[in-house]
Amino acid sequence: MTIYRFLPILLVVSNFVFAQRQKSLNLWELHNRGQLQIVNRESKAIQEEGRNIIRLSEGKGEGLVWLPIKGLKNGIVEIEMRGKDVLQRSFVGIAFHALDDSTYDAVYCRPFNFFAKDSIRKIHAIQYISHPTYTWRKLREERNGMFEKEIVNPPNPNEWFTLRLVINDKIIEAFINQSQKPSLVVEKLTERMDGKLGIFIGDGSGGDFYRITITNMMY
């Protein structure tokens, strides 16, 4: 089995042709070959319910898994992942345009807020951050409601779901599963337009991750 699968695609939008190249990453194989750079977490490659997955431990501070690929500028990143419905113990998502382990953008989900009865918690289901300056706390205090939103028709917080990011220069759109309507649309808070790509997990969280698909868009 190969780790990468390449699929060239032509996408026609408003009479313009965009050349795309799609890459599917087998996280389980990459882990077993020592090709994932794992930061501030323990990891296991396991087989569960017919899936080959990687499991990241809970821990203090943010955890990251950098992928062995060149930085992504514009494109689509899809990750299939699983958190859990435990308050303040599940923050799972994608880090992108990273300079290093402390300087990166990320979009992540809080599965424990997907079906929260509290209306305030419910609008904190999906979040954009840009570390080190724009943490979730700073954004909530200074720009409340702009960089975190509710997920309409959310998935089961204890089951697998897909987060899809569409990165187009300064605009970031986040979609859940097969939804055609974004759950979050934000303008990037930094001028950094390229960098490393990986998995993000928040303070106190672990998570399970199955596969990542990356589609680069070349104009």
The answer to whether 31 touches 199, Cβ cutoff 8 Å, is no
β-bridge mates for residue 132, sequence order: none
Which CB contacts under 8 angstroms, 24+ apart, belong to 31-34? 33/3
Nearest 5°: phi and psi at 218? -115, 120
CATH 2.60.120.560 fits 21-218, yes or no: yes
Q: What is the mean pLDDT of residues 153-158?
A: 98
| Per-residue pLDDT, 21 | 80
Local structure of residue 90 (DSSP, 8 states): -
Nearest Cα neighbor of 209 from 11, 19, 70, 36 is 36
| Per-residue pLDDT, 7 | 47
| Per-residue pLDDT, 20 | 64
User: Would you say the pTM of this structure is higher than 0.75?
Assistant: yes
* Digit-coded pLDDT (tens) for 56-103: 999 999 999 999 988 889 999 999 999 999 999 999 999 999 999 999
Sequence length of the chain is 219
| Per-residue pLDDT, 217 | 59
Pairing of strands 51-56, 184-187: unpaired
Rg (Cα) of the chain, in Å, rounded?
17
Q: What is the mean pLDDT of residues 127-149?
A: 97
- Residue 18 — very low, low, confident or very high, per pLDDT cuts 50/70/90? very low
Q: How far from each other are the two terminal CA atoms of the chain, in whole angstroms?
A: 31
Q: Is the dihedral of CA 107, 112, 117, 118 positive or negative?
A: negative
pLDDT at 28 over 80: yes
